[in-house]
Amino acid sequence: MSERRWAGSWLSGTRAAGEENGYPGQHFGLPEEGPRSVAGVGRRIGALFIDWLLCMIIAVAVFHSQYWTIAVFAVEVYVLTALTGFTVGKRIVGVRVVRLDGKPVGFWWALLRTLLLLALVPPLVFDSDLRGLHDKAAETLVIRI
């Protein structure tokens, strides 16, 4: 076993100097590019922007106030991720949330993932497979479709 020298090497997903980096999703057996490869940060941000804009439009149309946007967003992300693995934005940009074990995301894991997503910090901290803390906690991965 190689000796790890830097402070962050004990975190999962980080690699010590000299270890092979590969590409995101390699150790999950995913392809480097194309369908089923790990979705890039740009696609995820695009999906988030589309979902937020759509939820803002719905909040204003239904509740006549944009202050309800976060509630509409939470419901959209939770329900659609639990049932399909997609949100409207994810579907448009061509990405999907999948469980590592191949099972549907389901309501429990979607709830955990959504609550952590709403906390804002977990999605900003991600590993070499581009899995945010919310994905790690829910045992999910965002892939291209």
Judge if pTM exceeds 0.75.
yes
Range 89-106 average pLDDT? 96
The residue among 61, 65, 85, 79 whose CA lies nearest residue 142 is: 85
What confidence score (pLDDT) does residue 100 get? 95
Model confidence pLDDT, tens digit, residues 68-87:
999 999 999 999 999 999 99
φ/ψ of 100, rounded to 5, equals -65, -30
